Structure 1
């Protein structure tokens, strides 16, 4: 049976396993070794590890490409930006993950990149900005404003202008969208979030298409990983693969919860604005009282955890502008809700109580 014939829900369980033979383990091996016997496919662990390979096989299949695992999501981001040279023109969203924005601001300040800041939900304006650019960065939906970009149109325009396109697919996950199939060149993930799903590791990944162009980009990304040394630990990678096994059921439950909460929040008297793109498990809300009002809500919950990050089985909330690196395009009173897999009525009761003060 070809893996391509299997649904994503099956592939997250079936791929990245050992070959079936009598006595073989059901799970992928967890290999702790820094060096290997000569004349094999890998001679030193900075270049490869069987545990990496298992995870990369599974994620690559889900995204429809070839995956590389990195030490963190930011390591994967840095690898993607290494695809263009000093002085490159980068088109990037004004509102995106704060680590990505901070990286671009530093590069802009140091003269490494010229950055053209755009609203990637504005397709026409983004296409204009692509002229003469070298790389374009997408988040769809964006973090934390949950803006959605027209990826097929923008990817096609980027290809027409010979611009490398990169999409951070952390929020949507490959179960919701596969940017490579929409024409994007490189996919980036913070594996820390939904893919691993248990708030217990730091990991990142890139995925490139199975084309001549994709193979060339993958080679450059792998070279960056090899020389830069931002390599994943085998334990973290093994845990991420274990977490990936339940991605489908976790995301299905969390998304159902998020939809229900977004609907209830839309009529709540203590909520001014609800941002929800209709898919995924992130909901952002704006509450009265500015920064202080949002902080009071976040501090008042008992079941929801007031903490940063997202994508775990537990529900979390946070006022994003409490961080200095957060883009100023994010409202002071915005709370990002990472909806988990708990009972939705328990989540609602806790959140409603906090909102009512």
Structure 2
């Protein structure tokens, strides 16, 4: 069985033929020559191009837990792996395009169970669809397993009476509160009730979590984030082992024109090659920063009120994360008394960049409640930290300086 680190570098490189390019070529074309009267694999670029295949296949294999390289146009697996029956992933023009396509697997009148804390763009889209009567929205605390199971049972019963489908959408860890769901339990209950199950795996990446192995129907990614890893492109992906769902998602992508550009695909594939080393470095930094900032709580040195990271013993789902995830990730949050204090800290940073998004090689910091659509259950003074691969001492010193400076200024103002 090929290790993930090896497969990230070796997968999707095509057949081993003398004179073949080491890296897959890029298709800068909108259409293809066809042969009258013959079956032609490639026709028009909106339907698909050859240069998408390496990344689509690589992502599918990572999510399914298979590692063998691409040979021709098929997948090679071994009996010892007990692999998920994987289908090629589907690349989209953005994470939201992938999310929209998956959401539209629900026909009008369907029910969507969604974490109360989830990616803000999708949360807003789901609410808009609910307001227009396209679906019924049920928000849950995804970390409260028994409560979610009860919601699944109640909504499934209601939907059965209405003859309408139900989709369970899981984000774990959640954005930005980092709650960790009991994936095996929730997916098993949802499947028992006949729900469509979707997991947003952007934060964990397939190197830390593989929801298809737990029975998820579809996995979605913002490729923009950790997968591409350099904050220089927008892209999404959806992966499924279900042939009918794959067909419907492909049809949606084609008819809605939600396709990625060839250069973006090239850059994303290049970025994925270094995912393992980037994630390991960023995760190591995040864990160390979380421990150092947690040690400041209660000292009076700063105005920190809380530090949240799944790798800390104080995280509400630490034990679950330790048992379920292959690592604790590169995202943590710190909480300050209010939005003004948090903004002042951000204004005094030098190395950290105040910016939205996450998963790049550089460290970003953002106060999430600056967005009007972020739920009020997110503290006003919460800062989400996307930790990069810089030296951890530099990252700590920069943020600590800003925290101390603002705390000192606030003490002076208050006498």
The answer to whether TM tops 0.5 is: yes
Question: Equivalent residue for 1:287?
Answer: 336
Q: What is the CA-CA distance between 1:42 and the residue it aligns to?
A: 2.0
Unaligned stretches of 5+ residues in structure 1: none
Where 2:379 maps in the other structure, the secondary structure is: coil
Q: How does 1:181-330 map to 2 (within 5 A)?
A: 181-209=213-241, 214-268=242-296, 269-270=301-302, 271-278=304-311, 279-288=328-337, 290-330=338-378
Q: Residue 101 of structure 1 contacts residue 327 of structure 1 at CA under 8 Å; is this kept in 2?
A: no
Give the Cα–Cα distance (whole angstroms) in 1 for the partners of residues 30 and 376 of structure 2: 44
Asked if the contact 1:298–1:306 (Cα under 8 Å) also holds between the matched residues in 2, the reply is: yes
- The 2-side partners of 1:299 and 1:10 are apart by 41
Residue in 2 that maps onto 1:339: 387
CA distance in structure 2 between the aligned counterparts of 1:356 and 1:96, rounded to whole angstroms: 31
Larger radius of gyration: 2
Q: Which SS does the other structure have where 2:239 is aligned?
A: strand
Match of 2:24 in 1: 28
For the Cα contact (< 8 Å) 1:96–1:327, is it kept in 2? Answer: no
- Corresponding residue SS for 1:331: coil
- RMSD over aligned CA atoms reads 0.9
Question: Following TM superposition, by how much is the alpha carbon of 1:33 offset from its aligned partner in structure 2, in angstroms?
Answer: 1.1
Structure 1 length as normaliser, TM-score? Answer: 0.96
User: Is the Cα contact below 8 Å between 1:16 and 1:58 reproduced in 2?
Assistant: yes
TM superposition shift of 1:108: 1.0
The 5-angstrom pairing of residues 93-242 of structure 1 reads: 93-131=115-153, 132=156, 134-209=166-241, 214-242=242-270
> What per-residue deviation string (whole Å, max 9, x for no partner) do you get for residues 277-326 of structure 1?
120000011012x0001111111110000111000000000000001121
CA distance in 2 between counterparts of 1:276 and 1:185 reads: 28
- Separation in structure 2 between the aligned mates of residue 237 and residue 325 of structure 1, nearest angstrom: 30
Aligned residue pairs total 348
Matches of 1:121 and 1:222 in 2, distance apart?
Answer: 32
Q: Structure 2: 5+ residue runs without aligned partners?
A: 65-85, 160-165, 312-327, 406-415
Q: What is the Cα deviation at residue 40 of structure 1?
A: 2.1
TM-score (norm 2): 0.83
Higher relative contact order (CA 8 A, sep 6+): 1
The SS at the match of 2:220 is strand
How far off its partner does 1:18 sit? 2.6
Judge conservation of contact 1:180–1:186 (CA < 8 Å) in 2. yes
